[in-house]
Structures are given as C-alpha cells and as structure tokens.
Structure 1
Amino acid sequence: MDEVMLNWAGQVAETELAEVLPRRWAHSQGVAARAEGIGRLLGQDVNLLAAAAILHDVGYAPRLAVTGFHPLDGARFLRDGHGADERLTRLVANHSLALLEADERGLAEELAREFPLLGDPLLVDALVYCDMTTTPDGDRTTARERVAEIVGRYGADSVVGRFIRRAAPEIFSSVERIEAALAAQPR
C-alpha cells in the first residue's frame, strides 16, 4: 500500500469522524501516530498498518452504523463504498480481537465469512498494540489502563465490557509481543 492510499485513508477517516465524533477522531489520529512510531517493524506493510490505524474506528460514524458493530460496519463501508484493499478491510474488521466482540453480538459467523482474519500475526498484533495503547483522546497509555478505561466507560456487564474482559489476556499478549520486538530492534 502506497502513500496515495495512506493519504486517502486519512481523508476518509477525517471526513467521517472529525465533525460528528471529534473524540473518536482524536483517538484514531493517536492510533495512527503509534503506527508510524512502530513502522520499522513492518517493512513494506508500514503504510497498510497506518491506513488501518487511522480507519479502524470509521464504523462508529453514525451514518455508517448499520449493525451497530463498528468493525463490521466500517469494513463494509470501506469495501462497498470505496473498493478498499482487501487486507485493509480485513484489518479494520478484525482490529483488536473484534471477532470476540462479534461473538458477544451474534455476528461472529458473519464477520468471519466476510472478512477472514489475516494470516499475518505481526500486523494483527501491531494494530492491537496501536489501538490498545492509545486513549480515547489520542494520548499514550498502557494496555492495562486502556482495558480498565473501556470497562469503566461501558460497564463490566455491557457487551463491550464482557468482550474486553474476555479479550484482555490476548490484548496484553499482543502488546507484549510488539514491545519485545521493538526492544530487540536496533534504533
């Protein structure tokens, strides 16, 4: 994925989020900044990660919320409305262990059928890392603080609260794998 696609991704995310959901837009910008910061791990996939990072929450835009499950709504919008790259739509659809939340919502089969998980664990972990170490306002945080913030915001017994508590061990593992890979890289 080249710079043109990355610029396109930023424009689409800004158009859909900046005015109607400014905090979500701030978060998306922070996630994209995290992606740029770890890009050296991904080689040629750096722009793909950055595009997925800026677009990962586009499905929250009210006009796109068909199912109410933002990973699926966002990926469908990108695929059907923009003919976006398949790997990009699959990353958006499955960001941050979305399949577990899809299961809570009765949408797991639909998500898996339309947008199968990517077979690139480093890229998947990298997007989890970027999302789960960024606050709703776009600042840096730890994965543990982020999970606690999500549970606090949605409530432990909500669909999102149940999902994030269920996903937390794998979120923490993904973040640890990326942190270890970053530590092992020469600066």
Structure 2
Amino acid sequence: MVGLITPWAARVAEAELSAALPRRWAHTRGVAERAAEVGRLLGKNADLLVAAATLHDVGYAPRLAVTGFHPLDGARFLRDEHGADERLVRLVANHSFALWEAEERGLRDELASEFPLLEEPLLVDALVYCDMTTTPDGGRTSAHERIAEIVGRYGADSAVGRFIRRAAPEIVSSVQRIETALAVQPR
C-alpha cells in the first residue's frame, strides 16, 4: 500500500467530509499539508503520516458518527469498511491524545482495547503537530492558539474542553519536539 495509501486516503476523506462538513474538510486538507512538510523526518513512514493526517477527522462524517467520538468512529470505519492498515487505523483512533478524551466520554477501555496506542513516538508526535498547528479553516497556528480556539469553540466545561486543557502540556511538548526536529533536519 506504500505510495498508494495517500491518494486512497484523500479520496476517502473527500468523499466523507467535503460536502457534508466543508470546514472540517478544509482543516483536514491543512493537516495533510503539514504532514507532507513533516514527512521528511519520517522516512518510510512519510506516506503513513500523510494518510493518517488526511483521515484523522473522518469520524466526524454524519453517516459514520455512531458513538459521537470521532477518533473511535473513524477508526472503526477505516477498519470495517476499508480493511485499512492497522497502523493507520491506530493512528486515527489515537490522534492528538484521543485516549484522554475517550476517558472523559467513558470510552477509554473501548478505545484502548480495540486500538492500542502505537509505540512510535516520532510518528505520533508528528500527527499531533500537524493537527494542533492547523486552524479549523486549514491555516497555520500555534499549539497554544489552537488549544485556546478549541476551548472557546466547545466550552471549558465540555468533555472536549476538559480533555484539551488536561492534554495541553502534552500537546505542546509533542509540537515542540517536532519543531525542534524540523529545525535541525536539513531540508
């Protein structure tokens, strides 16, 4: 699937998000653009990162929203309807510290048992970086601004607001690790 996974991911994400959720689709395209830029850090995993970035929010698609928790719904869709690569599915399921949000929603055990965390820190950090430095409209932002935007959009007392505030130090650390790696990596 190497080399073919990125165009496939783009087709799937576009089919599920572009008409139903155009703003989410704009965010997704921006996250995928960041992933293409960061891919140079990942060697053979560059395509996997771009595919995960492209599909990370597919679970928001109305027809896929079974639990209402997009990482779980998206991962199940990719696994069950597409037989997608296990690493890809696990990245989508666990993107941007989703396990912590799953805990807020009472879905931690379900997510963790179906889709264990990937033990590939650089790949996981890279996906966090791509998602958390991209605005809802696909533009660039800082991790701090993105976290504040999410809290403002969902409310501090919502499950998302509580999760994102709790995860903020880890999100910022992931973003900083990738920014540092990009700064020292020759182009």
TM-score range, shorter chain: over 0.9
- CA–CA distance in structure 2, aligned partners of residues 39 and 73 of structure 1: 26
Q: Following the alignment from structure 1 to structure 2, what is the Cα–Cα distance between the partners of residues 54 and 176?
A: 22
Task: Indicate the SS of the match to 1:38.
Answer: helix
Where in structure 2 are the equivalents of 1:132-143 lying within 5 Å?
A: 132-143=132-143
Cα drift, residue 2 of structure 1: 1.6
What is the correspondence of 1:15-164 to structure 2 with a 5 Å cutoff? 15-164=15-164
Structure-1-length-normalised TM-score:
0.99
Q: Please, which runs of 5 or more residues in structure 2 have no aligned partner?
A: none
Fraction of identical pairs, as percent: 77
Q: Per-residue displacement from partner, 1:48-85 (whole Å, max 9, x unpaired)?
A: 00000000000000000000000000000000000000
- Residues 11-66 of structure 1, C-alpha deviations (whole Å, 9 max, x = no match): 00000000000000000000000000111100000000000000000000000000
Runs of 4+ with >3 A deviation: none
Instruction: Compute the TM-score of the two structures, normalised by the length of structure 2.
Output: 0.99
After superposing the two structures, state which structure 1 stretch, 131-140 or 177-186, moved more. 177-186
Measure the CA separation in 1 of the matches of 2:26 and 2:87: 24
The one-letter code matched in structure 2 to 1:62 is P
Give the count of matched residue pairs: 187
Cα drift, residue 101 of structure 1: 0.1
Q: Superposition RMSD on alpha carbons, in Å?
A: 0.5
Amino acid at match of 1:91: L
